[in-house]
Amino acid sequence: DADVTQTPRNRITKTGKRIMLECSQTKGHDRMYWYRQDPGLGLQLIYYSFDVKDINKGEISDGYSVSRQAQAKFSLSLESAIPNQTALYFCATSDGAQETQYFGPGTRLLVL
Amino acid sequence: QKEVEQNSGPLSVPEGAIASLNCTYSDRGSQSFFWYRQYSGKSPELIMSIYSNGDKEDGRFTAQLNKASQYVSLLIRDSQPSDSATYLCAVLSTGSARQLTFGSGTQLTVLP
């Protein structure tokens, strides 16, 4: 079984819709992250959480919100989706020791 | 100015050759550096981490770090077609945030 899972793997939605991307992990890590990836731009940090009560904005948080429901679950919401949020979204976890991050398989989102 | 810079490529090398991938970073206080490999449409996976000046070898991969020059590189010896991927350099920020900043990646193609 995968250590970091993301659902859905693919999603098509319309402008203005609210959607949620979910991430679960069985690695027992406290730290979880959401990134988006656009072609040629690498990974950009959206939000991160160092424990259940800790939520922090990353470099591109506008238009997004998150919820850390438990140590193992971290959800990303797009309150009102817009076409330039079309991207590949990755969840990642780390143990905070050496800061090695482990990535989920990604969610490919298309906003029409 | 982007904090982590990589040549976007594409970089092409023949099978069996040495591939050299380079990365520079702007945060002089950074202490932790990572190389991730990402196949097209897949999630990033960690290849190497390096924390001290000098070379670190793992199989066909060697990471090199020069903190004075703010430069980190990855050498792939005896390159194989299966090494064809995008290689992402990541640098851990200083301070309490401890976020990873990723370069935009170098696309490597190993020609049979």
Would you say B82 and B95 are in contact if contact means Cβ atoms under 8 Å apart? no
Which of B6, B49, B58, B102 best tests the A interface by mutation, with the highest count of A CBs <10 A? B102
Share of chain B above pLDDT 70, in %: 96
Six-digit token string for B58? 């793992």
What is residue B96's predicted lDDT score, i.e. its pLDDT?
63
Put simply, whether B58 touches A (Cβ < 8 Å) is: no
pLDDT digits (tens, 9 = 90+) for B4-40: 999 877 999 999 999 999 999 998 888 899 999 999 9
What is residue B100's predicted lDDT score, i.e. its pLDDT?
87
pLDDT digits (tens, 9 = 90+) for B52-105: 999 999 999 999 999 999 999 999 999 999 999 999 999 988 766 678 899 999
Which residues of B fall within a CB distance of 8 Å from A98? 32, 49
Q: Chain A residue with minimal CA distance to B49?
A: A100
pLDDT at B1 over 60: no
A47 by Cβ neighbours in 10 Å (0-12 / 13-18 / 19+) ranks as: buried
Put simply, whether A103 touches B (Cβ < 8 Å) is: yes
Q: What SS3 class is residue B81?
A: helix
Those of residues 14-33 in A touching chain B at CB distance below 8 A are none
What is residue A1's predicted lDDT score, i.e. its pLDDT?
59
Which of B2, B32, B96, B100 best tests the A interface by mutation, with the highest count of A CBs <10 A? B100
Q: How far is Cα A62 from Cα A46, in angstroms, rounded to an integer? A: 8
